[in-house]
């Protein structure tokens, strides 16, 4: 970080300072500036610690460490911006900030790559190794041991397994691994052996007492304990949190909370306000034409399911006759899409103007009000009517409600009503699992040609 600060300073000196480099370096440094810089050093250390950049990353994927580094350097750069604003430091310009963030990120990443490479070479030569004891002999424990042994650069030496008598023990013995001790002798084995880490692979739900005793032993002896996911959740992410001094594990699937969620919400507010103002003439013209060409209200208001199945009123321009909801039974047999949802391309209840509004997606524009209210987002799974939700028969489909519904999503740009219901649900879950601000931007950009083309609109 000190190196990056120097690089950014030189970059500013070369672009905005008129004197020579020697004169620049010979300038006096005020005591106050020195204290500010020292405070920044301490703050950078705290920031890097909070992102666990000083912790062991033997079992951490490189991509995860890379993201942590970028988060840490971004926060550190924002700190510099804040300090510059408070203390009116003129040297911290836009050029300084860009160069500082880029150089600090690249320097930190490069240092981690070199460090990983050096440590891996050391471990391959038998240095910097950690002894690991695996408690449990089930299939998952054996697979874990094989992965550890297949990656010697991680630097682990498996000293054995520990378990009690159970039906699968004979199958375990055929794997070639040895049983160091049973669970009753485990405390003695731990006291007399060199163990750096213990991996708890027992079925915790059925052997909770044993698992608790082993965890207490690790705590008392200062041994690192690693615990497999108790519930073996495939798509859920995990984080540890603390409430009133008591730690607990949180499982979640949607990653739209925290700062990314705040940024997404800010974009929703800004874009929806801008579009409502810019598209006001089109909105007014559509409302006027609906009023003139057919009887009934301009807006169609319907109860739909939003975030975690919260019910809200969705707004659309009315494209059907007034009693369309009551006539549902007359046309239900004409449904053209699989699953519980109801879609008809040439619905007899649609007015002639409504067909045009649907084809151009103008009927969806009032939902910008839902986005502004916070019931919806610009991008997210489409909100479904209560009637459609009641037809769901698989719980995995309900995960789509773990995020705010949106005006557009992957379904919208991949054929809309022309794709089967199962594929529609899979696209919604794909969006949740791969969500990022860049994905939102990509979907918004691809929505424009999809709307102009009008494919799958119903």
Q: Are residues 283 and 404 in the same domain?
A: yes
The structure tokens listed for 282 are: 């089109």
Beta strands 224-227 and 197-200, pairing class: parallel
Residues 140 and 77 both lie in one domain: no
- pLDDT over 80 at 43, yes or no: yes
184-203 confidence digits (pLDDT tens): 999 999 999 999 999 999 88
pLDDT at position 27 = 52
For residues 422 and 287, membership in a common domain is answered with yes
Domain stop point among 84, 100, 124: 124
Do 273 and 373 lie in a common domain? yes
* Res. 50: pLDDT tops 80: yes
Quick check: 345 pLDDT over 80? Answer: no
85 pLDDT more than 70: yes
Q: Which of 124, 148, 183 is the last residue of a domain?
A: 124
> What's the CA dihedral at 273, 279, 280, 281 to 10 degrees?
170
Give tens-digit pLDDT for 54-72.
888 888 888 888 989 999 9
Which stretch of 16-25, 256-265, 344-353, 385-394 has the lowest confidence by average pLDDT?
Answer: 16-25
Section 217-230 average pLDDT: 87
Q: Are residues 20 and 157 in the same domain?
A: no
Q: Tokens 């874990």 correspond to what residue?
A: 144
- Confidence (pLDDT) at 19: 55
pLDDT band at residue 162 using 50, 70 and 90 as cut-offs = very high
- Residue 317: give the domain boundaries: 258-453
- Indicate if the pLDDT at residue 15 is higher than 70: no
Strand order in the sheet with 299-305: 311-317, 299-305, 384-385
Q: What is the DSSP code string of 115-142? A: HHHHHHHHHHTT-S-EEEEEE--SHHHH
Residue 251 lies in a domain: no
- Is the pLDDT confidence value at 23 over 60? no
Q: What is the DSSP string of 377-416?
A: EEESSPPEEHHHHTT---GGGGGGGGS--EEE-TTTTTTG
Q: Is there a single domain that holds both residue 113 and residue 149? A: no
Asked if residue 421 belongs to a domain, the reply is yes
Distance CA 223, CA 125 (A): 24
Contact partners, residue 327, CB within 8 Å, separation at least 6: 321, 349
pLDDT in tens, 89-126: 788 888 899 999 999 999 999 999 999 899 889 999 98
Nearest to 455 by CA among 381, 375, 369, 360: 360
- Compute the average pLDDT of residues 430-453: 88
> Which residues neighbour 229 within 8 Å (Cβ) at sequence distance 6 or greater?
238
Residues 317 and 291 in one domain: yes
Domains held by the chain: number = 3
> What is the percent of the chain where pLDDT is above 70?
93
Give the range among 72-76, 82-86, 133-137 with minimum mean pLDDT.
82-86
Residue 208 inside a domain? The answer is yes
CA distance 320 to 190: 74
Of 105, 124, 143, which marks where a domain is finished?
124
Instruction: Please say if the pLDDT value at position 250 is more than 60.
Output: yes
Residues 203 and 103 in one domain: no
Instruction: For residues 372 and 300, state if they share a domain.
Output: yes
Residue 391 lies in a domain: yes
At 455 the pLDDT is 58
What is the average per-residue pLDDT within 43-64? 86
Claim to verify: residue 209 and residue 98 sit in the same structural domain: no
Helix 94-124, helix 62-87: angle, nearest 10: 150
Task: Give the distance, in angstroms, between the CA of residue 339 and the centroid of all CA atoms in the same chain.
Answer: 29
99 and 159 in a single domain? The answer is: no
Q: What is the mean pLDDT of the chain?
A: 87
pLDDT of residue 22: 58
Same-domain status, 345 and 297:
yes
Mean of the pLDDT values across residues 68-79? 92
State how far the Cα of 30 lies from the Cα of 21, in Å rounded to an integer: 19
What is the Cα gyration radius of the chain? Answer: 30
The phi and psi torsions of 232 (rounded to 5 degrees) equal 55, 50
Distances (CA, A) of 301 to 310, 312, 369: 16, 10, 12
Tell me what pLDDT residue 255 has: 66
* CATH number for position 177: 3.40.50.720
- Write phi, then psi, for 408 (nearest 5 degrees): -135, 155
pLDDT for 25 equals: 53
Cα dihedral 47→49→54→56 (10° resolution): -130
């Amino acid at each position: 970080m000190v190196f990056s600060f120097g690089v950014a300073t030189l970059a500013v000196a070369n672009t905005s300072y008129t004197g020579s480099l020697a004169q620049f370096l010979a300038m006096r440094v005020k005591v106050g500036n020195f204290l500010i810089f020292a405070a920044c050093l301490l703050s950078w250390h705290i920031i890097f610690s909070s992102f666990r950049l000083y912790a062991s990353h033997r079992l951490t994927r490189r991509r995860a460490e890379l993201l942590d580094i970028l988060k840490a350097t971004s926060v550190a750069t924002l700190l510099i911006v804040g300090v510059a604003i408070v203390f009116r430091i003129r040297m911290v310009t836009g050029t300084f900030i860009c160069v500082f963030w880029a150089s600090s990120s690249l320097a930190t990443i490069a240092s981690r790559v070199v460090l990983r490479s050096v440590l891996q070479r050391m471990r391959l030569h038998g240095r910097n190794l950690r002894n690991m004891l695996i408690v449990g002999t089930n299939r998952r424990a054996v697979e874990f041991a094989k992965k550890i042994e297949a990656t010697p650069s991680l630097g682990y030496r498996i000293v054995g397994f520990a378990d009690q008598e159970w039906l699968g023990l004979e199958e375990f013995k055929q794997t070639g691994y040895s049983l160091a001790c049973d669970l009753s002798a485990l405390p003695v084995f731990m006291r007399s052996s060199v163990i750096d880490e213990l991996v708890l692979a027992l079925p915790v739900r059925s052997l909770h007492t044993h698992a608790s005793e082993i965890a207490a032993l690790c705590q008392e002896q200062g041994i690192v304990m690693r615990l497999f996911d108790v519930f073996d959740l495939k798509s859920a992410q995990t984080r540890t949190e603390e409430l009133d001094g008591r730690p607990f594990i949180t499982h979640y699937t949607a990653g739209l909370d925290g700062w990314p969620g705040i940024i997404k919400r800010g974009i929703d507010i800004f874009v929806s306000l801008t579009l409502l103002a810019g598209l006001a003439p089109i909105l007014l013209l559509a409302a006027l034409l609906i009023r003139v060409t057919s009887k009934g209200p301009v807006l169609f208001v319907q109860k739909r399911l939003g975030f975690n199945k919260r019910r809200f009123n969705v707004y659309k321009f009315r494209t059907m006759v007034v009693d369309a909801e009551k006539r549902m039974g007359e046309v239900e047999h004409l449904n053209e899409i699989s699953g519980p949802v109801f879609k008809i391309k040439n619905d007899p209840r649609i007015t002639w103007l409504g067909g045009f509004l649907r084809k151009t997606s103008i009927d969806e524009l009032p939902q910008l009000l839902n986005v502004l209210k916070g019931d919806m987002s610009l991008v997210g799974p489409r909100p479904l009517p209560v009637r459609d939700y009641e037809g769901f028969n698989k719980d995995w489909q309900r995960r789509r409600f773990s995020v705010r519904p949106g005006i557009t999503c992957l379904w919208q740009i991949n054929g809309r009503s022309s794709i089967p219901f199962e594929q529609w649900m899979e696209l919604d879950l794909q969006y949740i699992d791969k969500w990022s601000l860049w994905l939102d931007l990509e979907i918004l950009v691809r929505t424009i040609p999809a709307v102009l083309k009008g494919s799958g609109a119903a």
